[in-house]
Structure 1
């Protein structure tokens, strides 16, 4: 007898868990209990949970390389069947979600699997995706559940941006955009000078090809550099590189995916040399999950980080998200040291925690609080040039007005916890999950998102290519997306006065002020953990909150948390929901939600 329960897991340690949360949200609306597992390489954890809970519904996903996704799903199904975890006569429904190419490849394979698997199609319309999920869960009152989802799936936005997005993509005229200028010699070794010289926000992008060698990525970087479309290549690092760099023997026999598998300092230097052409884009690798300080030295010795900035998380890339081996407390202390080391060499620093929280259904107050905390940490660590990344449309239910209010509140605290001599650089990007697998529609979405981002006067735009709902961007995709974004910037400047009138909308001001008030309360509660705490205005809390021990305790005690964290040690036991205009709120329940305050949340969880 199966229980009315949904178990979901990504395969092969894939860290992309947002789809699981989306499916679980719909299941909960229908009264189905949900168990979401941490990303893991080992299928034994998934099978153990299936044996323990006897679920009616099982969901698996893999959103990296399609060929590997097919192998991992077949491996999982065979393991479940031949180990006797699930029999073909059991009343169990299994679904799998992946990139469109993965789904297409599997259509010819699943008939030969020993267990029936339903494949989640990729739809260009978010409501169609929701309908498919509702059908999988055998929900009887489908229309009622769909009506509950409609308002949050399609929040009311700025209509002028819709019209101008049409202009951006009209007849593919954006393809005629000229290449970027070549920076001065000084700007090639100074990221902030490159920003100052550029007539538009500097453009960066992730790029790294999963392969047995670094050669395809080297050739791709050369193509991008020659096209003069990117100012900074953020090296998409293999998950193995992030864990085992400097130990090539550790790569043997392990699944390599997620990016380029550089193994040695020479590999990094060869990748850097590939950028020495065209407009000479700088190169920065992903942050590693261990030994960060030594890796910073290696980057400086090999040319990586020359004329670049670097991103380091505050709370992430550890056991909390499954991307690294350390505890949260261990990684926070190491991340502090890494930020101090970068500051010592005058390298601009970005701490991208707000994006991580958004991926895990944190409510907007947690996002704005994270901007305050990373700003405080960068200040005490001596960072001169702070980069704040603002990822729009994340989660994808976020509306225009909600994004603008949230980011304004975040930047208020970014400035509040800065001191004389520090400079703030605003970086914007599109949320990948908001892009449609329909490439034509995705181009329109990317252009529209860029218009919204320009309302925040960014110094940097991180290019998310329009193809990324389907596959990781290739050089041709990045080149084309750069041209589209540059056309969007031009269209924005032509209509800037009209677009920025929307910033005067009372919705934005009221929401910003609400988030500031809630964030001030939460910051004070975090500061009180510090034995040196003295009451005072919010600006006086900087030294109390920018403390590795205090922040570790705040995470461990769930003062800062989110319902989408899968590790039960850190998961938030509360509910968040997108509401009118796409504002992500803390609520008492999902069905008939009432917004509750941070004071009430902490009281409910017995933290007050």
Structure 2
């Protein structure tokens, strides 16, 4: 524990910076004392001699010229009283800070461009000198080093390989991002190991045309600068284990993202049958769990993106986590995509996420740890880029209500064009600005009565569907993780989405409507929204009783 002394010097009365810094210091377990505003240099030195602090933090936010005599006087007093062994920190505007940098007794200078996590990392340092910062190179350590400030992730991948290399380096050097999520094109995801099957007219469609292991290795090399961001990449949609090994060996894949029921004939991302893809997805979870690599099952939002009602979104979020735990995953990344469908009300969106959290985190024990990842819904951002920036900020503010470990930043430009390095950096700065505003004293929207009521309603409805799976598939040892059951449930419409209509691999009969900001199952015959029990009774003659998830 260190002792910090703070003051605004000269005739400066702007104490906010010093006070906020000392508050962060206290939260890290150190002792602080604040002398106040407009503290003279003589008074400051007397306090230092009396209280013998380890660190002195001074602030000045007036004109640059007026700080010069103050710092000259302070320098003389430090030398006269042999106070060079104390760590001196300065905070001010950029012009004033540029003046302060001419005085070598300052070990650290904050000019207001730093982000909150930068300040926290500085305070957490073993010493308070300006030293090279260590950036943890695995996800869990990176999260632990920053929380409650979340780590930031952003998707990046341009149709040009060379431009992607340059972009990764530029993003790393900006230090705004902790994880660069590489997006390969569909040719790479589907046919990396069978290039003869590629349709080269589609090279670069949807991402970067990675074609060799050396391409992946160069991406990693380009990221070895700035804040040394972690890299991760989408999973392959064929030969998934060879692709996983490739990612592990070339970019040190920060975590695996794999769907439970998708990337197959359901969504056209590959030729795999649903049953085979579920089995492969489970085994891919197991493969990563055995190697202590975190796993994200990006399942739930795929159903919501296809207008499935909220209950199915909650159920599939739970089943994704349940299957990951069953497969031996130790560190689970639960992704919460807000604004899906885009017309949902914020209150009801938050309630849906809280229902997911309650069910998913009921699975936690000493072998299974859940980390929350939030993001804006891609389809919710306007093609008007100025409007999209506001939407990104609003979505981030809402998402911070659930205290995430990871913020998946969605580039504000995505409705208009794939994010360029400049777009990635600007999007991250927008999100960082929101996060900075929410970490202390944010209104707790999770305690809103209508949010709580909807959350509880969704949990009960989700239990109806989960129990129905057990009632219908009594011959299965565990219907919640049985690939045959899950495949059949999609085929029969127990798990369904409106956008699957006409797909021979699904029922595609579900109808939904947005009513009072909720996405609800809807019956044309009855002309109203229906409960989960009513919906299932239309498919089967069963009564789905409530259950307790253990």
Q: Which TM-score applies when normalising by structure 2?
A: 0.72
Deviation of 1:435 after TM superposition, in Å, equals: 1.3
Question: Match of 2:480?
Answer: 545
Distance between the aligned counterparts of 1:593 and 1:457, measured in 2? Answer: 39
1:283 pairs, out of 220, 231, 256, with 231
1:229 pairs, out of 176, 182, 189, with 176
Name the SS for the 2:370 alignment partner.
strand
Distance between the aligned counterparts of 1:180 and 1:207, measured in 2? Answer: 23
Deviation of 1:400 after TM superposition, in Å, equals: 0.9
Name the SS for the 2:284 alignment partner.
helix
Question: Match of 1:509?
Answer: 452
Alignment of 1:402-421 (within 5 A): 402-421=348-367
Deviation of 1:252 after TM superposition, in Å, equals: 5.5
Structure with larger Rg: 2
Deviation of 1:595 after TM superposition, in Å, equals: 2.0
Distance between the aligned counterparts of 1:291 and 1:531, measured in 2? Answer: 33
Residue 444 in 1 paired to residue 390 in 2?
yes
Question: Match of 1:208?
Answer: 157
- Unmatched 5+ residue regions in structure 1? 1-174, 535-542
Name the SS for the 2:500 alignment partner.
coil
Deviation of 1:406 after TM superposition, in Å, equals: 0.4
Name the SS for the 2:371 alignment partner.
strand
Name the SS for the 1:510 alignment partner.
helix
CA contact (8 A) 1:390 1:407 kept: yes
Alignment of 1:320-359 (within 5 A): 320-359=266-305
Question: Match of 2:511?
Answer: 575
Distance between the aligned counterparts of 2:113 and 2:391, measured in 1? Answer: 19
Name the SS for the 1:437 alignment partner.
coil
Name the SS for the 1:424 alignment partner.
strand
Distance between the aligned counterparts of 2:288 and 2:135, measured in 1? Answer: 18
Deviation of 1:505 after TM superposition, in Å, equals: 1.8
1:309-332 superposed Cα distances (whole Å, 9 cap, x missing partner): 111000000001111101111100
Deviation of 1:525 after TM superposition, in Å, equals: 1.4
CA contact (8 A) 1:437 1:470 kept: yes
Distance between the aligned counterparts of 1:369 and 1:544, measured in 2? Answer: 13
Name the SS for the 1:584 alignment partner.
strand
Distance between the aligned counterparts of 2:519 and 2:407, measured in 1? Answer: 24
1:197 pairs, out of 137, 145, 164, with 145
CA contact (8 A) 1:268 1:304 kept: no
Residue 466 in 1 paired to residue 409 in 2?
no
CA contact (8 A) 2:187 2:199 kept: no
Question: Match of 2:538?
Answer: 604
Distance between the aligned counterparts of 1:468 and 1:259, measured in 2? Answer: 12
Distance between the aligned counterparts of 1:235 and 1:179, measured in 2? Answer: 26
Residue 245 in 1 paired to residue 160 in 2?
no
CA contact (8 A) 2:493 2:510 kept: no
1:291-338 superposed Cα distances (whole Å, 9 cap, x missing partner): 111211111221341xx1111000000001111101111100010110
Question: Match of 1:384?
Answer: 330
Residue 587 in 1 paired to residue 533 in 2?
no
Distance between the aligned counterparts of 2:224 and 2:493, measured in 1? Answer: 46
Q: Which structure's relative contact order is higher, taking Cα pairs within 8 Å and 6+ residues apart? A: 1
Deviation of 1:284 after TM superposition, in Å, equals: 1.2
Distance between the aligned counterparts of 1:322 and 1:387, measured in 2? Answer: 25
Distance between the aligned counterparts of 1:607 and 1:280, measured in 2? Answer: 57
CA RMSD of aligned residues (A): 2.2
Alignment of 1:20-59 (within 5 A): none
Question: Match of 2:259?
Answer: 313
Residue 425 in 1 paired to residue 371 in 2?
yes
Distance between the aligned counterparts of 1:178 and 1:452, measured in 2? Answer: 20
Distance between the aligned counterparts of 2:317 and 2:238, measured in 1? Answer: 24
Distance between the aligned counterparts of 1:291 and 1:366, measured in 2? Answer: 29
CA contact (8 A) 2:496 2:510 kept: no
Distance between the aligned counterparts of 2:290 and 2:378, measured in 1? Answer: 33
CA contact (8 A) 1:527 1:550 kept: no
Deviation of 1:515 after TM superposition, in Å, equals: 0.8
CA contact (8 A) 1:426 1:460 kept: yes
Q: Which TM-score applies when normalising by structure 1?
A: 0.65
Query: Aligned residues, how many?
Result: 417
Question: Match of 1:220?
Answer: 167
Question: Match of 1:302?
Answer: 250
1:485-544 superposed Cα distances (whole Å, 9 cap, x missing partner): 111011123441xx21x322221111111111111111111123544569xxxxxxxx44
Relative to structure 1, the CA distance from residue 525 to residue 419 in structure 2 (aligned partners, 3 Å threshold; closer, same or farther) is farther
Question: Match of 2:499?
Answer: 564
CA contact (8 A) 1:179 1:229 kept: no
Question: Match of 1:367?
Answer: 313
Deviation of 1:571 after TM superposition, in Å, equals: 3.9
Distance between the aligned counterparts of 2:508 and 2:366, measured in 1? Answer: 36
Distance between the aligned counterparts of 2:399 and 2:500, measured in 1? Answer: 27
Distance between the aligned counterparts of 2:265 and 2:479, measured in 1? Answer: 25
CA contact (8 A) 1:246 1:265 kept: no
